[in-house]
Structure 1
């Protein structure tokens, strides 16, 4: 018998948000880990917000909403608020009841900036790592380091001379004017982007085009492949090694450690600085570098060198996840601080997904 194509709602419905989320949904263990980290930030939240006045968005709800934006590749706050209106899963994760009003996207953005001003994301990242440490997931001796380019939210047309000497190219004015830079030298010393002054023109190799971008740097421990340090810098040929050393300096303890890295780190100054810090540089040998490789037999003869070279490639899993799921291939934010905020949040989200798979056996295709 054919059913009728009609809908008749009941007068009363007795349902809870919990009923709409399957018991084996991958967000359940992630929410448990997130709440555990947020509880330890209660003191920081109390300092940020005044005791009197109009109530704003709860910072715990705000952080969960920002994580959802990363987990589900939501490209804007406006679209996130739209999802919150009708997506029961999103409401459950954030902590909004079915009849709670959803915030305006502009109010959400202003409250997000408050977290940026008080470095809440950095504190949240630290608490997630504290949870991982309590669960015995972190290595204290063996690490890997690498960097990646993050394309800036700025075009080549915005990269103009700092002294204003650029001639107006033919073809009209405005944002869609024709531009021809053939034969004209352009460098970060003489030019800057009017859209994002913190972006730098940089190319990864001679075979790739130069783009306006930032550099993201990651330090990963080798036991579980979790990111223990993340920072964004201006794009520069030296910053990969400089920030690798700064991330190593943030590690606790003066005991012996190892750090795996690719050929870009095979320089005599980086190797010397690592050894001065009691860190053995398990860096890939760059035989064609002028002057030869800085890594000799006293490092490569040990079996741990090959192990570090194998495990260090797992950093690319975080970069790949961040650029495909987390929309970090090209950032939507402008300014070094905002991009750094987005990068740390995305790395924290990547860690949460990996921790959930390890601790709760969440399927690989989860959130």
Structure 2
């Protein structure tokens, strides 16, 4: 056999038959996910929700990308850890298995990034919320929704805008012009001098009392972004993402985006009520009874509002400077603060706070870090809200997949040759042995109690529910 060469003379192909088109065995995870969505009637329900925002069927013009394909491409972005829409479009165009997942034949081109932008702008936030509720219904059917105790927490999302894009709200001058004005005011340079960029940076770095206020500065690239100090000490334009998580099953019940300078002390009641609204609008009977948050959410007004809707709070009280004037507040707020204070001194509060820090942070790790949403590639708070809500519903879909099939992400299949795969195989063997044993028992054989206990301990679903899925 002669050696093939990549660079050789080739005759152009005039036509290709369907049998000659490349084929794929398909990706096991995406095939199962497609089957799950098909059985739930996902595409039919989504098209019904999106129909009012398109022209009637049969009108002139090219048909749009099906809404189900739009949401599936965003699912690919989450599962593959791709944050940008260009990256999602490239990934879908390059993969035969993802083409099968999207339902796009080889004779057609996959949607590009501009198509994703047009569909996202066409569909309002309310449609994305309804799709989020559809997934909540699907999760509830699999027993993944309890809804009694929820945990609330927030994190920062870096905006798609640099600090050098900020200008003063009153004069419109940029940061460099502002610093040059300070240099002239302090006599560092003369009135007609033009300092270099290095001299401007050196002066700006050494000057004292340097403050940047959102009341005075705004970004021209993304006016919705706010100047925020991140946990690593950097100052960046950012948004704030907040999750409300079912503390027992880790299901995300609400995902909201606020401006980066929005205080946690103003959002607790709104977030809890939004989660309850999602449950009610989805036709679910779950009622939120307890809300757990960290000390950053402690505010007498919010505690009183949450208590007034019948929800018990577990929010640690921070150590404040000076004496807290609780006696000067209304009686309802005093009662709410004292009741919350009593509950935070119990052993139950310690357990709930431990679960909150573990499970809400895990939701942020999946959605923001491995899901590609830590930095937003969209501009405008409404667009960021749509993207984060979609990532949250895909995270919930991953939990459903983990419950049904033992794997919550495509990357979970990479561990099948390791300890995770061996553990899952062991559970499957135990389940098969149990089914065989039950069959013999129905035919008259009576298994011993010890062997029956061995066969019924745990199960693949229990193991899968506690796996990280990464």
- C-alpha deviation, 1:297, in angstroms: 5.7
Which of 29, 32, 35 pairs up with 1:29?
32
- Work out the CA distance in 2 between the residues paired with 1:43 and 1:245: 32
Counterpart of 2:290 in structure 1 is 258
- Work out the CA distance in 1 between the residues paired with 2:305 and 2:361: 25
Q: Does 1:94 align with 2:120?
A: no
Counterpart of 2:352 in structure 1 is 308
Higher relative contact order (CA 8 A, sep 6+): 1
Per the alignment, in what secondary structure is the counterpart of residue 220 of structure 1? strand
Change (3 A) 1:118 1:300: closer
- Work out the CA distance in 1 between the residues paired with 2:94 and 2:221: 35
Q: Does 1:349 align with 2:394?
A: yes
Q: TM-score, normalised by structure 2?
A: 0.67
- C-alpha deviation, 1:16, in angstroms: 9.2
Q: Does 1:219 align with 2:244?
A: yes
Q: Does 1:247 align with 2:271?
A: yes
Counterpart of 1:235 in structure 2 is 260
Asked if 2 retains the 8 angstrom alpha-carbon contact of 1:33 and 1:352, the reply is no
- C-alpha deviation, 1:300, in angstroms: 3.5
Which of 224, 227, 231 pairs up with 1:198?
224
Any residues of structure 2 matched to 1:5-84 within 5 Å, and which?
5=4, 14=19, 19-22=24-27, 25-35=28-38, 36=40, 37-51=42-56, 52-54=59-61, 55-84=63-92
- Work out the CA distance in 2 between the residues paired with 1:256 and 1:77: 36
Per the alignment, in what secondary structure is the counterpart of residue 374 of structure 2? coil
Q: Does 1:122 align with 2:129?
A: yes
Counterpart of 2:439 in structure 1 is none
Change (3 A) 1:162 1:301: closer
Change (3 A) 1:3 1:39: farther
Asked if 1 retains the 8 angstrom alpha-carbon contact of 2:225 and 2:239, the reply is yes
Which of 210, 216, 219 pairs up with 2:235?
210
- Work out the CA distance in 1 between the residues paired with 2:225 and 2:72: 29
Change (3 A) 1:171 1:152: farther
In terms of mean alpha carbon deviation, does 145-154 or 101-110 score higher?
A: 101-110
Q: Does 1:335 align with 2:380?
A: yes
- Work out the CA distance in 1 between the residues paired with 2:33 and 2:199: 48
Change (3 A) 1:48 1:363: closer
- Work out the CA distance in 2 between the residues paired with 1:171 and 1:31: 61
Change (3 A) 1:105 1:275: closer
Q: Which structure carries more helix by proportion?
A: 2
Change (3 A) 1:108 1:255: closer
Any residues of structure 2 matched to 1:317-328 within 5 Å, and which?
317-328=362-373
- Work out the CA distance in 2 between the residues paired with 1:196 and 1:363: 34
- Work out the CA distance in 2 between the residues paired with 1:17 and 1:352: 30
- Work out the CA distance in 1 between the residues paired with 2:22 and 2:293: 46
Q: Does 1:105 align with 2:113?
A: yes
- C-alpha deviation, 1:172, in angstroms: 6.1
In the alignment of these two chains, the number of paired residues is 358
Query: Could you list the per-position Cα deviations for residues 283-306 of structure 1 after superposition, in whole angstroms to 9, with x for gaps in the alignment?
Result: 234346654795666313555323
C-alpha RMSD of matched pairs (Å): 3.3
Structure 2 residue runs without a partner (length 5+)? 181-193, 327-336, 413-469
Which of 170, 194, 214 pairs up with 1:188?
214
Change (3 A) 1:101 1:126: same
Counterpart of 2:140 in structure 1 is 133
Query: Could you list the per-position Cα deviations for residues 129-153 of structure 1 after superposition, in whole angstroms to 9, with x for gaps in the alignment?
Result: 1111222211131111001111111
Pick the structure with greater CA Rg. Answer: 2
Per the alignment, in what secondary structure is the counterpart of residue 26 of structure 1? helix
- C-alpha deviation, 1:254, in angstroms: 9.9
Q: TM-score, normalised by structure 1?
A: 0.84
Any residues of structure 2 matched to 1:264-279 within 5 Å, and which?
264-279=296-311
In terms of mean alpha carbon deviation, does 121-130 or 283-292 score higher?
A: 283-292
Asked if 2 retains the 8 angstrom alpha-carbon contact of 1:219 and 1:244, the reply is no
